[in-house]
């Protein structure tokens, strides 16, 4: 195994890990504040990818320039969807089961809508960067004495890495330095106590739903830089990744989800380099099972007394 492949696997793990971190952190805020399982989160990400496709293909606009528009549009959609669907769950005899079925139904509706509009074909999203690839550095004797190897990274992936890092920093600042962010963290820790001090939990929950939807839409746009194609049926994979990251990082710990996303991305990409494909796919889930067995609260979560 030469060092160039290892370094490329490490860089790929960081790039994918930052995307997974954003997926997990946004889903963590949503599940923590609302106490519902959002099976439609991955479909919001796919919808963000189709937003990039429409901007580039039909309007000729670079989707990266319209990221604020995507964030605002998805925030409004999530905010409105909360008031349309979620408050009615409180009148259910089994709100947890009802939320499970409700969000699963929303997921199926979004998939059907995207297939109806864009058909079932995988749509390419081709960003043009100059240069297409960047040579980061040269590894001496990578392929033997006197034979050097170059570590080459697509420019689009470096751009995605920079955007994800900026979004994660902004999200961390929002959660820990602003009053709405602190209120969301407080609701994750103790939903009843937040209501006692006079915070409107429904309005806060709507903001959390809108924030999660906005982050999902932006993630979908940025994802097209890493994987330049969109599959309308691919939302379930992103939802699964989000829940894996939540379990690893700990429910109610958004920063833990960020770290867990990077960890899962590194494990996934490095195992693809070092192990056979079947074993590589299994390793990440083995780590997940091990965490559930030995630290159910997650790697960064705290055990709660019952």
Looking at residue 60, which CATH number applies to its domain? 1.10.3470
- The candidate with the shortest Cα–Cα distance to 223, out of 65, 40, 49, 43, is 49
Cis before 131? omega within 30: yes
| Helical segments of the chain, H only | 3-34, 41-57, 67-85, 95-118, 155-177, 179-189, 191-196, 201-226, 235-249, 254-274, 277-294
Distance separating alpha carbons of residues 53 and 123, to the nearest angstrom: 8
Structural domain contains residue 288: yes
Per-residue model confidence (pLDDT) at position 221: 93
In a domain, 306, yes or no: no
User: What is the Cα 305 distance to its own chain's centre?
Assistant: 30
Handedness of CA 130, 132, 137, 141 (dihedral sign): negative
Cβ-in-10-Å burial (0-12, 13-18, 19+) of 91 comes to exposed
Residue 18 structural domain = 3-294
Strands 123-124 and 229-230: what pairing?
antiparallel
Please indicate, yes or no, if residue 77 is contained in any of the structural domains: yes
pTM of the complete model: 0.89
pLDDT at 306: 40
Residue 44 lies in a domain: yes
CA dist 278 and 294 (Å) reads 25
Strand partners, 153: 134
**In this structure, is residue 300 part of a structural domain?**
no
Strand partners, 138: 150
Question: Does some domain include residue 46?
Answer: yes
pLDDT tens, position by position, 239-265: 988 888 888 887 767 778 888 888 888
Could you give the CA distance from residue 259 to residue 251 in angstroms, rounded to a whole number?
A: 13
The runs of H, that is alpha helices, within 178-276 are 179-189, 191-196, 201-226, 235-249, 254-274
Predicted local distance difference test score (pLDDT) of residue 69: 92
Round to whole Å and give the CA distance between 264 and 220. Answer: 19
Torsion of CA 280, 285, 287, 293, to 10 degrees: -160
Question: Which CB contacts under 8 angstroms, 24+ apart, belong to 59-67?
Answer: 62/127, 63/125, 63/221, 63/224, 64/127, 64/159, 64/163, 64/221, 67/163, 67/218, 67/221
27 inside domain: yes
Residue 302 phi, psi (nearest 5): -105, 140
**Sign of the torsion formed by the C-alpha atoms of 186, 188, 191 and 193:** negative
Other Cβ atoms less than 10 A from the Cβ of 122: the count is 12
What is the C-alpha to C-alpha distance for residues 297 and 219, in angstroms, rounded to an integer?
A: 26
Quote the number of domains for the chain. 1
pLDDT at position 209: 93
| pLDDT, tens digit (0-9, with 9 covering 90-100), for 77-100 | 999 999 998 887 767 777 667 888
Residues 6+ apart with CB under 8 A from 114: 43, 46, 47, 50, 232
On whether residue 107 sits in a domain, the answer given is yes
Please list the pLDDT of the chain residue by residue as tens digits (306 residues). Answer: 567 778 878 888 898 999 999 998 888 888 878 878 888 999 999 999 999 999 988 888 888 888 999 999 999 999 999 999 888 776 777 766 788 888 889 999 999 999 999 988 888 888 777 788 887 767 665 555 545 567 778 888 889 999 999 998 898 899 888 988 888 888 888 888 888 888 888 899 999 999 999 999 999 999 998 888 899 999 988 998 888 888 888 776 777 888 888 888 888 888 887 777 667 667 777 887 888 888 877 777 655 444
């Amino acid at each position: 195994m030469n060092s160039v492949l290892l370094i490329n696997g490490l860089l790929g793990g960081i790039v994918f890990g930052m995307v997974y971190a954003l997926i997990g952190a946004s889903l963590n805020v949503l599940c923590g504040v609302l106490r519902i399982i959002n099976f439609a989160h991955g479909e919001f990400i796919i919808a963000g990818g189709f937003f990039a496709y429409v901007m580039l293909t039909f309007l000729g606009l670079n989707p990266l320039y319209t990221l604020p528009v995507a964030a605002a549009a998805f925030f409004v959609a999530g905010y409105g969807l909360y008031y349309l669907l979620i408050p009615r769950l409180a009148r259910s005899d089994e709100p947890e089961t009802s939320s499970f079925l409700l969000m699963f139904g929303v997921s199926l509706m979004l998939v059907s809508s995207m297939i109806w509009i864009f058909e079932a074909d995988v749509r390419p999203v081709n960003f043009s960067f100059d240069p297409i690839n960047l040579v980061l550095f040269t590894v001496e004797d990578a392929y033997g004495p006197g034979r050097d190897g170059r570590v080459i990274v697509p420019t689009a992936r470096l751009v995605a890495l920079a955007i994800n890092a900026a979004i994660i920093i902004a999200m961390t600042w929002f959660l820990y330095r602003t009053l709405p962010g602190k209120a969301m963290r407080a609701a994750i820790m103790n939903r009843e106590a937040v209501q006692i001090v006079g915070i409107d939990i429904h309005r806060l929950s709507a903001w959390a739903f809108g924030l999660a939807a906005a982050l999902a839409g932006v993630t979908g746009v940025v994802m097209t830089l890493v994987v330049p194609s969109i599959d309308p049926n691919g939302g379930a994979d992103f939802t699964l990744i989000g829940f894996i990251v939540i379990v690893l990082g700990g429910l109610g710990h958004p920063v833990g989800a960020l770290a867990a996303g990077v960890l899962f991305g590194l494990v996934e990409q490095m195992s693809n380099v070092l192990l056979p494909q079947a074993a590589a796919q299994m390793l990440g889930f083995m780590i997940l099972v091990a965490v559930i067995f030995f630290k159910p609260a997650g790697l960064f979560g705290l055990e709660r007394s019952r």
